[in-house]
Amino acid sequence: MELTNISGLKGEVAIPGDKSISHRCVMFGSISSGITEVTNFLPGADCRATIDCFRRMGIDIEHNETSVIVHGKGLRGLRAPQDILDVGNSGTTTRLICGILAGQPFDSKLSGDNSLNSRPMRRIMEPLTQMGANVSSVLRNDCAPLYIAPGQLHGIHYSSPVASAQVKSCLLLAGLYADGETSVTEPFLSRNHTELMLKEFGADVRSVYETGGTKATASIRTCRQLYGQKISVPGDISSAAYFIAAGLLVPNSEILIKNVGINPTRAGILEVCQNMGADISLFNERKEGGEPIGDILVRTSNLHGTTIEGSLIPTLIDEIPVIAVMAAMAEGTTVIRDAAELKVKETNRIETVTDNLRAMGCDVEPTDDGMIIHGGKRLHGTTIHTLLDHRIAMAFSIAALVADGVTKILDSHCVDVSYPTFYDTFENLL
């Protein structure tokens, strides 16, 4: 994909469904009794991988673009897959499904693409093993492919060293099948879709917040039955982030982004925008299925640098590549710290962000747990090496819209992972 700078992005954007919530609808629906009907489902490659895994375990799932109907078979209705479960590029599929597989009376094996098979799985293997699960890394390198054999699960309390919704959700799902109570405390609160949704599906799940709502313990008790639900998936704020950035950075722009999920555990980018002096407003706030939603209006703004750290990081971890692009265009310095988790995403995003920003002429330094961006210099077009990371492709497509000359995004088709219609949506705003 080749892109050049533009001016005047104007209009309304409907953002596709939230990736995290779409995965969970399929997973929780599959292990519920009765039908789960999903609208505004995200038909990206990651969520298609989740559908494929559950179909391979005997679940009938009707999927037509943004509509999904899951014919759940109950907590004990999955059947042994004949083949390896292919989780593709999806960390969420891998880590959450392991919690479910750990509670099954059959063996299973899962594997993904090169990026997925190099991401750390010790973070789930260790606590699952403490619960009595039999999970092993086939190559003994603490990564997928993973092999899961039946185990007798019991509840534990786990104090997670990282704020990770994937780790927390994995353990809560295993907790459905474990004797007694399973609880997870995280250093900072990560996205809480699992807790909110499992409650709607009928699980006995609770969250206790400490120290002003940042630190939290989520707990679940063994479960007899979950019940199919009707779910309308909110627009994904992680996808909205590209249009927020485009509206703020591209001259003479005004974009209305409709029906965006603004759960506080996900909405850190809105706070960062405000701290950077953005012209951004949120209205029409409402709730659907326990999740807050709103419309976001952005207009071209002169941004200034900020500091992003601590409890804010898990609330915007996937948006850091595009926030870094905003910081490169902002006056002054932006410091991003406490974000070492960036190193274990689809790529090492401290490297992929800073290497590509530098290639565009930005003055940026990678650090051990983030980056320091000295903004305000003009960016110039170059070749962007996405390393097949969807969020790098999209973040640098936004940079391309404000850079001099031509920017070539290599492997731009990788946007299919989370936002198949990303480039088409842009065309509607020209």
Q: What tokens appear for 267 in the block?
A: 């909405």
Sequence-separated (6 or more) residues with CB below 8 Å from residue 346: 89, 91, 115, 388, 389, 390, 391, 417
Beta-sheet pairing, 407-409 with 181-186:
unpaired
Nearest partner of 112 among 139, 81, 84, 136, judged by Cα:
84
18, 236, 295, 318: which one is catalytic?
318
Residue with Cβ nearer ligand S3P (295 or 318):
318
Residue whose beta carbon is closest to ligand S3P? 20
Residue with Cβ nearer ligand S3P (36 or 166):
166
Residue with Cβ nearer ligand S3P (317 or 388):
317
Closest distance of CB 379 from ligand S3P, Å: 26
Residue with Cβ nearer ligand S3P (169 or 407):
169
CB burial of residue 105 (10 Å; 0-12, 13-18, 19+):
exposed
The single residue listed with the structure tokens 């390896």 is: 84
The single residue listed with the structure tokens 């009928």 is: 202
Closest distance of CB 168 from ligand S3P, Å: 7
Phi, psi dihedrals of residue 218, rounded to the nearest 5°: -110, 135
Residues that bind ligand S3P (CB under 6 A): 20, 92, 164-166, 169, 190-191, 317-318, 341
Q: Mark whether 416 is an active-site residue.
A: no
Tell me the residue type at 156.
Answer: I
Closest distance of CB 381 from ligand S3P, Å: 28
Tell me the residue type at 247.
Answer: G
Is-contact 61 55, C-beta < 8 A? Answer: yes
* Cα distance between residue 345 and residue 325, in whole Å: 18
Closest distance of CB 24 from ligand S3P, Å: 7
Closest distance of CB 49 from ligand S3P, Å: 13
Residue with Cβ nearer ligand S3P (189 or 401):
189
Q: Which residues are catalytic?
A: 318
